[in-house]
């Protein structure tokens, strides 16, 4: 985004959000799309390797488009007219088998859809067993979708398929992501003596008013605020969420975002919606679900409300003593948004000797710290740098994860957990790729100097969606970012807690901040990396 000579400027001129620039090289032929550069500022200067990686990441998350031209609401996907069928539902199923489901999409006139691009979520579940797992969805690009499930437990197993957004709504979300990255705005307060001013801030700002350049000197992460009329840029004291822009959609577009019509609506079956699964004969079922491939889908499943990963053994830390023993002598750094702050809150609440030390930080914002003197445990939480939609964060406490990692010595008693996703959903994906590239570089350097440091990434999770939330924080945005994150962090020595599948496989309603039973399972997965079971 920014050439080095801009980094020290106190004030630079603002520019337009989107600016056509025909000199920009389009992405490689594989992506078959030309993109407008984000903002009129000079784009990121990427090395050849970074450019290739970015193009391949953007190509990997490309979403199928409906045919050109305006599509009327009645021709958009209707979950009520759509249906699914289990392929050969009466055949003999045993644990470990694949179950295939065919989904047929239709519009509001009952006509079959001829193109793909709808966003679906699917799960199998057995309510009495409190068991659940997610499915793998394949878009056939003709109005048909195949869903593949691995049957992981015996008993009656029910199939559920949900339309999260019709393909026509996804095109609106794509447009907003590229054209309206200002739809969540931020503000900063500037103060000198008794005089204060508040101005708007963002990754970049529209218009030609003078701006304060708060681009980070070390990571090059861009951040700008409009310059106060009387005060200097150096007088900034705080950062906060400003608000959400209204009036983003045309009347026709708003029809694609209706709670009881086409946002997270069930698609019903046109036949049996469950199968009977027999136990696998003559095998130790506990060894069956240890898959060798870490990219296996699904990554795990719930059984009796306990998460069972398929790639490694998990230990359920049911007693607070077990958690204390596991974390004894450790320093645990939690970096990210409110979904990892839940880990801080859970551990502080559950472990009696872990007592929060009052740092005088704003509620829900941090930084926070808990100390267990008896077991020599230090637990810390700090939010990631802007963009972050928190209420007031002191400017002095605005830190980028990459810079924080550079200040950690590391070693066998250092545990680091990171999550970063939700606050990036309103920006073009390149903004997120840049942030992850900086974090990844710092992780690799930390592991080079202290290979025994344990680093865990908490993925994104699904959440409750309505017409407004969808435009800012849709699961579809989160899915796109999560896919990028998994690709960028694969192949380096980090571990994943799959909060995405945990939130999707569980029977509880989707929630940006999952309920305690799900957080407990996330913590079990996290602690199982810290203190692996001896097998």
DSSP string, 229-285: SSS-GGGEEEEEEEEE----S-HHHHTT--TTTTSSEEEEESS--EEEEEPPTTS-H
Mean pLDDT estimate for the chain? 90
Residue 217's pLDDT is 94
Residue 177 domain-assigned (yes or no): no
Residue 68 domain-assigned (yes or no): no
Q: Is 478 left (phi over 0), alpha (psi -120 to 50) or beta?
A: alpha
Q: Are residues 463 and 363 in the same domain?
A: yes
Q: Are residues 233 and 274 in the same domain?
A: no
Residue 429 domain-assigned (yes or no): yes
Given a cut of 60, whether residue 456 has pLDDT beyond it is yes
Give the whole-angstrom CA distance, residue 189 versus residue 329.
40
How many domains does the structure of the chain reveal?
3
Q: Each residue of 64-78: pLDDT tens digit? A: 998 887 899 999 999
Given a cut of 70, whether residue 417 has pLDDT beyond it is yes
Q: Which of 98-107, 286-295, 383-392, 512-521 has the lowest mean pLDDT?
A: 286-295
Residue 67's pLDDT is 86
Residue 148 domain-assigned (yes or no): yes
Residue 335 domain-assigned (yes or no): yes
Instruction: Report the DSSP pairing between strands 274-278 and 454-458.
Output: unpaired
DSSP state of 230: S
Q: What is the helix (H) or strand (E) element at residue 159, kind and residue range?
A: strand 155-165
Is 0.85 topped by the overall pTM?
yes
Q: Are residues 345 and 427 in the same domain?
A: yes
In which band, very low, low, confident or very high, does the pLDDT at 283 lie, cut at 50, 70 and 90?
low
Dihedral (CA of 508, 514, 520, 523) sign: positive
Residue 156 domain-assigned (yes or no): yes
Across residues 265-274, what is the average pLDDT? 98
- Of 222, 244, 266, which marks where a domain is finished? 244
Q: How many helices (H) and strands (E) does the chain have?
A: 12, 26
Q: Are residues 161 and 77 in the same domain?
A: yes
87 vs 2: which has the higher pLDDT: 87
Residue 287 domain-assigned (yes or no): no
In which band, very low, low, confident or very high, does the pLDDT at 297 lie, cut at 50, 70 and 90?
confident
Residue 283 domain-assigned (yes or no): no
In which band, very low, low, confident or very high, does the pLDDT at 311 lie, cut at 50, 70 and 90?
confident
Q: Are residues 226 and 364 in the same domain?
A: no
Contacts of 330 (CB under 8 A, 6+ apart): 377, 378, 413, 414, 415, 530
Q: Are residues 340 and 409 in the same domain?
A: yes
- What interhelical angle do 320-327 and 338-350 show, nearest 10? 110
Q: Are residues 318 and 452 in the same domain?
A: yes
Both tokens assigned to 406: 């550079």
Contact 202, 182 (CB under 8 A): yes
Share of the chain above pLDDT 70, in %: 89
In which band, very low, low, confident or very high, does the pLDDT at 204 lie, cut at 50, 70 and 90?
confident
CATH number of the structural domain spanning residue 319:
3.40.50.1110
Q: Each residue of 326-365: pLDDT tens digit? A: 999 999 999 999 999 999 999 999 999 999 999 988 888 9
**Which residue range is the domain that position 114 belongs to?**
73-171+256-278
Share of the chain above pLDDT 90, in %: 83
Q: Are residues 399 and 322 in the same domain?
A: yes
- Comparing CA positions, the residue from 126, 237, 146, 147 lying closest to residue 189 is 237
Q: Are residues 121 and 51 in the same domain?
A: no
Residue 361's pLDDT is 86
- What interhelical angle do 475-489 and 429-449 show, nearest 10? 30
Across residues 420-436, what is the average pLDDT? 97
In the sheet that 331-336 helps form, which strands lie side by side, from edge to edge?
355-357, 368-372, 377-383, 331-336, 414-419, 454-458, 495-497
In which band, very low, low, confident or very high, does the pLDDT at 154 lie, cut at 50, 70 and 90?
very high
Residue 534's pLDDT is 67
Residue 45's pLDDT is 85
Q: Are residues 432 and 326 in the same domain?
A: yes
Both tokens assigned to 394: 């002191």
Across residues 120-136, what is the average pLDDT? 99
Q: Are residues 14 and 155 in the same domain?
A: no
Q: Are residues 124 and 219 in the same domain?
A: no
DSSP state of 232: -
Given a cut of 90, whether residue 516 has pLDDT beyond it is yes
Across residues 40-47, what is the average pLDDT? 67
- Comparing CA positions, the residue from 288, 279, 311 lying closest to residue 298 is 311
């Amino acid at each position: 985004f920014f050439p080095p000579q801009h980094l020290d400027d106190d004030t630079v001129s603002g520019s337009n959000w989107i600016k056509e620039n025909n000199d920009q090289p389009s992405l490689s032929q594989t992506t078959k799309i030309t993109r407008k550069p984000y903002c009129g500022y000079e784009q990121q200067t990427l090395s050849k390797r970074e450019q290739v990686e970015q193009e391949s990441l953007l190509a990997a998350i490309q979403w199928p488009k409906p045919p050109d031209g305006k599509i009327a609401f009645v021709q958009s996907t209707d979950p009520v007219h759509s249906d699914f069928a289990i392929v050969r539902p009466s055949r003999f199923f045993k644990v470990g088998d694949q179950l295939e489901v065919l989904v047929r999409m239709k519009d509001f006139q009952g006509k079959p859809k001829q193109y793909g691009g709808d966003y679906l979520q699917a799960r199998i579940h057995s309510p009495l067993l409190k068991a659940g797992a997610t499915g793998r969805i394949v878009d056939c690009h003709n109005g048909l979708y195949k869903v593949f499930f691995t049957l992981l437990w015996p008993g009656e197993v029910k199939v559920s398929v949900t339309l999260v957004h019709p393909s026509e709504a996804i095109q609106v979300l794509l447009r907003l992501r590229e054209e309206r990255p200002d739809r969540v705005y931020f503000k900063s307060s500037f103060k000198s003596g008794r005089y204060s001013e508040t101005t708007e801030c963002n990754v970049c700002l529209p218009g030609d008013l003078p701006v304060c350049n708060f681009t980070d000197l070390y990571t090059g992460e861009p951040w700008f605020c409009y310059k106060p009329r009387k005060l200097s840029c150096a007088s900034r004291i705080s950062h906060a969420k400003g608000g959400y822009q209204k009036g983003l959609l045309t009347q026709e577009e708003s029809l694609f975002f209706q709670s009881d019509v086409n946002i997270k609506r069930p698609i019903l079956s046109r036949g049996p919606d469950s199968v009977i699964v027999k136990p696998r004969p003559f095998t130790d079922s506990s060894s069956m679900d240890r898959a060798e491939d870490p990219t296996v889908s699904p990554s795990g499943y719930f059984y009796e409300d306990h998460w069972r990963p398929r790639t490694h053994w998990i230990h359920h830390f049911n007693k607070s003593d077990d958690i204390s023993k596991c974390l004894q002598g450790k320093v645990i750094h939690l970096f990210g948004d409110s979904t990892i702050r839940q880990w801080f809150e859970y551990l502080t609440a559950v472990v009696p000797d872990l007592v929060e030390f009052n740092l005088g930080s704003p509620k829900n914002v941090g930084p926070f710290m808990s100390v267990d003197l008896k077991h020599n445990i230090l637990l810390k939480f700090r939010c990631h740098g802007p963009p972050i939609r928190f209420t007031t964060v002191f400017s002095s406490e605005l830190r980028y994860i990459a810079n924080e990692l550079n200040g950690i010595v590391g070693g066998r008693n250092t545990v680091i957990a990171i999550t970063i996703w939700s606050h990036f959903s309103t920006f073009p994906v390149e903004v997120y790729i840049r942030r992850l590239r900086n974090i990844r570089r710092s992780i690799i350097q930390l592991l080079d100097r202290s290979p025994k440091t344990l680093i865990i990434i908490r993925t994104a999770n699904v959440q409750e969606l309505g017409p407004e939330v969808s435009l800012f924080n849709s699961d579809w945005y989160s899915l796109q970012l999560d896919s990028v994150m998994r690709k960028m962090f694969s192949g380096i020595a980090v571990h994943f807690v799959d909060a995405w599948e945990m939130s999707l496989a569980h029977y509880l309603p989707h929630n940006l901040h999952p309920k305690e039973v799900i957080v407990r399972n996330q913590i079990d997965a996290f602690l199982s990396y810290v203190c692996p079971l001896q097998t």
